[in-house]
Amino acid sequence: MTVTEEPQMEIGRDRRRKEDQRLITGRTRWTDNITLPGMLHLAMVRSPFAHAKIVNINVDEAKAAPNVVTVVTGKDLGEEQGSLPNAWPITPDQVTPPHPPVAIDRATFAGEIVAVVVARSAAEARDAAELVDVDYEELPAALDLKESAEDKVLAHPDLGTNKSALWVFDSADAGTGGNVEEAIAKAREDGIVLEREYRQQRLIPAFMEPRSTVVDPTGEQITMWSATQIPHILRFLLAAVLGVSEAKVRVIAPDVGGGFGGKLQTTPEEFITMVLARRLGKPVKYTETRSESMMAAHHGRDQWQKLTLAAEKDGTVTGFKVELLADLGSHVSLVGGGVPVLGAFMFNAIYKFPAYHFAVQTVLTNKAWTDAYRGAGRPEATFGIERMMTELAAELGVDPLEVREKNWIKHEEFPFTTVAGLEYDSGNYEAATALAKEHFGYDELRAEQKARRESKDPIQLGIGVSTFTEMCGLAPSRVLGSLDYGAGGWEHATVRMLATGKVEVVTGASAHGQGHETAFSQIVADRLGVAFEDVEVLHGDTMVAPKGLDTYGSRSLVVGGEALVRAADKVIEKAKPIAAHLLEASVDDIEFSAGRFGVRGTDQGLAMAEVALATFAAHNLPDGVEPSLDCDATYDPVNFNYPHGTHLCAMEVDTETGAVKMRKYTCVDDIGNVINPLIVAGQVHGGLVQGIAQALWEEAVYDDSGTLVSASFVDYLVPTAADTISFDVDHTTTPSLTNTLGTKGVGEAGTIASTPAVVNAVVDAIRQFGVNDVRMPCTPERVWKAINDGGGGDKTTEAAAPHFDDSGDTAIADGAPE
């Protein structure tokens, strides 16, 4: 008797990452590391004004500076520089200002590029940039989002309005639900109507690697290295905008130091570097400083949310109306107004609203333009609904989990078509919530909260809940087409069987910290029955991976991974006739299992590597069969997938000072089948901290003249290790039914879920003082004011940055130690 031991499956193993070795030893290839012979360097001259006419630019002195090659202005570049694209005009009549990479006659935000210096070294370029003399005529700036929506001051006077597009979804019109106005009217009669206005503050993605671009125009292909999430989209748009043949452009995203949506952009700096390298015929590099990155790389969020929730007296929800103002900043960027639209399908979340209305007005202002930031539209939606469900619970005087459970989609009701028209394939909110409560010690913490309230403890405890879902795996091409997005949402993969038995996997996804090299190796190792170590994943270079749609929207595994599975399956099918021929058997008798082609009913067989070698040699192949096992697949998803989870947060609030402290954070996410639990946990941890940071610390603050005062890590509070705690992370597993692997996206889940959990906890701690909201970030000042005068919704003052004080001497004296 033989006992065959099942080989250990790679999927589900906590494999340590393949990509770590080079990253922990410093053998990295960041774009800024690249140096080419004769390479020139750029420095940007940026507008200090939010809105100003460019009267004259004198470059004489700069041009005469040591080792300066040239200085160019927007006028010099003219048509040659093109106009930066918006890939998602959300309505046919969207107002979209032209977007030259270098401003020509008007600067439209503080930080916009008005001239470019090219020099032999980066230091000399920067020195000379100081010598460029720009004569500005300052114009009134559109800064406040609400005022800008009223067209009080115009961001682009020629356009006659700041209103870019109004995008509406109404369940009655779409046939997916009832009329929300009727639901609200009825609730005013005999139910509950909650009306709230929330602020999604402006955020900065703050990836750790500043953006950098190198362009080498020598040789047949123009090669661009860039710190980007989207090498394929960048290549397409460089060609489309600049009129260069796409086949002549190669884009490489080498090691990329984080993105979080912030590198989901085709930037002015990339276009400028490309144009100047072509003009000068020399390799050119531009690397931004952190301050430039904060000022001029795109920002995220920035919405006002007017929310109306209707419910019956027993807490059954009957309607939800969402009216958003979204700040586009100075231009409609690559995804632009599409970001809030991605939230349109998520405000109803996991709840069975019979009627739903969503409207977003996008608005142009004289601030840095906004675009995707981790979660892109879905954090905003999740915040809105999860805050409102907690408010409903408070109104009813019941536990926030109780009112959620009353209204959420029950496990047995899946698949479920929502009031926003999406079909949720699977989910189990009951299981995730039960496990989260157990881990958290929910009942014990509620008891402690009660005791602290009764004893009037100066440290009050609040418990926040967020039972989120999201749509991810962007996206079915047909859906994107119906929303007027400019591209599809498929992904491509190639599996190449090398003669030595190694496997090269090429993916169109473009990792920048996600660990694709490891996770994708695990998938292919299982599928082909080869060793994890024998799989090499190649990506991020349009010459190596010519087809792809890159990495964003939690899509790489659920779309790119599925493409990989299909390519691998094709390899097996392609190898079967060859294996049959070599084994002198009928193809019908060939079985493939654990990396071996066996002949049914015999002990004969060949390993995948043996078939690969025989195919390479091609000495003995069946007639008419090509000597290659390589296969590719392009997969277009049929649906999104819908991760969900229950997040519970305990916050301690010092009612005497307003200081808040996180006590405990538990999350149980259901992301379906997990390929690598270690990588998943990492994604959740990092996502949580970004969401928590929105709740407590981060905000891009402009002063009254439109200067970004939080333009460095001194003032923009990216949390440190000392600000954060260790998290309690677990999972339930309800496999997705929309892909072979049963996986769901995880990259954005933590960020989407955590922000409302934290704010709900802060509000819960101080609701007894008559507080029902604290505006984000929940600073001690705001919390203290909320407790003392109910005024927790103040605008963030720009006083946080006293270092630009007019009276420089005083400031130094004040700040100096004795």
Partner 1 sequence: MTRIEVTVDGAKVSDDVEPRMLLVQYLREKLGKTGTVIGCDTSNCGACTVHLDGRSVKSCNVLAVQADGHEVTTIEGLATNGELHPMQAAFHECHALQCGFCTPGMIMQSIDLLNDNPKPDEKQIREGIEGNLCRCTGYHNIVRAVQTASGQEVGK
Nearer to partner 1, 205 or 605 (CB): 205
What is the closest distance, in whole angstroms, from the C-beta atom of residue 20 to partner 1 in the complex?
4
Nearer to partner 1, 155 or 667 (CB): 667
C-alpha–C-alpha distance, residues 445 and 552, integer Å: 37
Nearer to partner 1, 176 or 751 (CB): 751
Nearer to partner 1, 56 or 289 (CB): 289
C-alpha–C-alpha distance, residues 87 and 83, integer Å: 12
Nearer to partner 1, 72 or 650 (CB): 650
Is the four-CA dihedral 383, 384, 385, 391 of positive or negative sign?
positive
> Which H or E element spans position 530?
none
Q: For residues 660 and 650, is the Cβ–Cβ distance under 8 A?
A: no
Tokens standing for residue 271: 């276009």
What is the closest distance, in whole angstroms, from the C-beta atom of residue 727 to partner 1 in the complex?
6
Nearer to partner 1, 124 or 425 (CB): 124
What is the closest distance, in whole angstroms, from the C-beta atom of residue 397 to partner 1 in the complex?
35
What is the closest distance, in whole angstroms, from the C-beta atom of residue 687 to partner 1 in the complex?
8
Residue 49 DSSP SS3: coil
Look at strands 317-329 and 356-364 and give their pairing: parallel
Nearer to partner 1, 227 or 238 (CB): 227
With tokens 């006077």, the residue in question is: 157
Distances (CA, A) of 85 to 89, 275, 457: 10, 16, 56
C-alpha–C-alpha distance, residues 587 and 577, integer Å: 6
What is the closest distance, in whole angstroms, from the C-beta atom of residue 713 to partner 1 in the complex?
4
Nearer to partner 1, 206 or 297 (CB): 206
Identity of the amino acid at 137:
E
C-alpha–C-alpha distance, residues 137 and 54, integer Å: 7
Q: Which of 191, 194, 143, 163 is nearest to 309 (CA)?
A: 194
What is the closest distance, in whole angstroms, from the C-beta atom of residue 258 to partner 1 in the complex?
4
Q: Which of 747, 708, 633, 650 is nearest to 48 (CA)?
A: 708
Which stretches of 471-561 are DSSP H helices?
477-482, 516-528
What is the closest distance, in whole angstroms, from the C-beta atom of residue 125 to partner 1 in the complex?
14
What is the closest distance, in whole angstroms, from the C-beta atom of residue 730 to partner 1 in the complex?
9
Binding site for partner 1 (CB under 8 A): 16-17, 19-28, 30, 32-33, 123, 206-210, 255-258, 260, 289-291, 512-515, 678-679, 681-683, 685-690, 712-714, 718, 720-722, 724, 726-728, 750
Nearer to partner 1, 596 or 685 (CB): 685
618: left (phi over 0), alpha (psi -120 to 50) or beta: left
What is the closest distance, in whole angstroms, from the C-beta atom of residue 6 to partner 1 in the complex?
26
Tokens standing for residue 642: 């819908």
Tokens standing for residue 650: 């305990």
What is the closest distance, in whole angstroms, from the C-beta atom of residue 205 to partner 1 in the complex?
8
What is the closest distance, in whole angstroms, from the C-beta atom of residue 681 to partner 1 in the complex?
7
With tokens 């954005």, the residue in question is: 748
User: How many other C-beta atoms lie within 10 A of the C-beta of residue 249?
Assistant: 22
Identity of the amino acid at 444:
E
What is the closest distance, in whole angstroms, from the C-beta atom of residue 401 to partner 1 in the complex?
24
Q: Which of 677, 686, 718, 682 is nearest to 699 (CA)?
A: 718
Nearer to partner 1, 421 or 682 (CB): 682
HSE-up (13 A, CA, CB side) for residue 502 = 9
On the question of a cis peptide bond just before residue 756, with omega within 30 degrees of 0, the verdict is no
Look at strands 222-226 and 68-73 and give their pairing: unpaired
C-alpha–C-alpha distance, residues 307 and 320, integer Å: 7
Nearer to partner 1, 449 or 666 (CB): 666
Nearer to partner 1, 74 or 687 (CB): 687
